Amino acid sequence: MEFRIDRGDLVEAVGWAARALPARTPVPVLGGLLLDAGTGTGGLSVSGFDFETAARIETDAEVTVAGQVLVLGRRLLDICKVLPDGPVSCALDGTRFTVEAGGTGFGLSTLPRDEYPTPPAPPRTYGIVDAGAFAAAVAQVAVAAGRDDTLPVLTGVQLRLDGDEMTLSASDRYRYAVRRLEWKPEGEAGAAEDVVEALVPARRLLDVSRSLARCGVVRVGLDGPSGGGPIGFEGGRMRSVVRRLDGRLPAYGKLFDTAGAAVAEVDCGALTEAVRRVAVVAEANSPVRLDFSAESVLLRAGYGDDVAAQRLPAELTGADEVTVAFNPAYLLDALASFEASRLRLELLGTGQRALLGAAQEPRVHRHLLMSVKQLV
């Protein structure tokens, strides 16, 4: 095995595939990246796999001798980052993999290729979605996903494919985010009338969507409307196959029913900055209180002499006054997820649900928070 490649192309390929490497693993070969030169595409492909995510990227390379090699991924990435700019020569010499550029050389021991597990085959394309819109939508809902691995269902983002609409949702029991966007079904998906749902680990999906954000379109792969296999995401010359989580998120239809709620509108950026300011005096688990009236909202936080307050312009309809209080971290996460300049809040009162949405398109992106009972 022997090839030459531009240093920038090598760094990009190794860095992208290394996203699939586990932080810690009892199986040493899973810490490896598989480099395949010339045996498939004529260029270089780099792959990583940890039983949850398989990542593969193809890039241009001048291949002299075709072959494969498995090397420690993070070590190779560290080497690539310090290589001088210009062409990089790589070769396999027995059980030693060499990397040379600009008079600088490195040697790496190899891992046993025959012990490396076979990654799952990518499922066939089920439809396509705009890469930038998809990445933005995933980021908007992933903030509400749980971090507790003992409750794996709540650590996922649920994808729902219904006709030409994709709906993403996530919840950690204390908040629930939902985002709708357009997508284009293809092939079997175009003819199918079934609604397809897949629960994908939020951290994995967030990482994949970000890395594909500049690819123009993302091809989503599924093994049919009722298939329970992995889900694939492909953009340009990059491809990821992600294992689904078992189960599904609780339905949000009744939760998002806020009939009879008071409705407030406020500048999203101004509200975000005000929450960030007054929250500096809020102790752990201490809420930020919002008192809405017809023309303003008063934010308050803290206890005793350690308090902060700020008043902002706001519009309230459906009630003369409404008071709610939120965990400031949850509220800031929700506010930061909106791209709209003006925010709509449907408020049921203290200790009850509050539904946030963009004032112009309130049903495209919605974020539900529970107002705490304890007031400051």
Instruction: Give tens-digit pLDDT for 119-165.
Output: 989 999 999 999 999 999 999 999 999 999 899 999 999 999 999 99
* Separation between Cα atoms, residue 302 and residue 196, nearest integer Å: 46
Q: b/e for 39-72, b at 16 or more Cβ within 10 A?
A: eeeebbbbbbbbebbbbbbbbebbbeeebbbbbb
Residue type, 304: G
pLDDT band at 365 (very low <50, low <70, confident <90, very high): very high
Three-state SS for 32-50 is EEEEEECCCCCCEEEEEEC
Average pLDDT, the chain: 93
Backbone angles phi, psi at 126, to 5 degrees: -105, -20
- CA proximity to 342, closest of 321, 372, 320, 312: 312
The alpha carbon of 250 is separated from its chain's Cα centroid by a whole number of angstroms, namely 20
The two tokens of residue 167 are 């709906």
Instruction: Break the chain into its structural domains and give their ranges.
Output: 2-115, 125-242, 262-370
What residues contact 227, with CB distance under 8 A and at least 6 apart? Answer: 123
Pick the CATH number of 2-115 from 3.40.50.720, 3.20.20.140, 1.10.1740.10, 3.10.150.10: 3.10.150.10
Give the mean pLDDT of 194-204: 92
Alpha-carbon dihedral angle through residues 209, 210, 213, 218, given to the nearest 10 degrees: -20
333: left (phi over 0), alpha (psi -120 to 50) or beta: alpha
- pLDDT band for 188, please (50, 70, 90 cuts): low
One fold for 125-242 and 262-370: yes
Report residue 226's pLDDT band, with 50, 70 and 90 as the boundaries: low
Q: Which superfamily does CATH assign the domain made up of 262-370 to?
A: DNA Polymerase III, subunit A, domain 2 (3.10.150.10)
Give the residue from 301, 328, 324, 303 showing the smallest Cα distance to 314.
324
Give the pairing of strands 96-101 and 87-93.
antiparallel
Q: Which range has the worst mean pLDDT, 39-48, 146-155, 174-183?
A: 39-48
CATH superfamily of 125-242: DNA Polymerase III, subunit A, domain 2 (3.10.150.10)
Closest listed residue to residue 139, CA positions, set 166, 196, 174, 179: 179
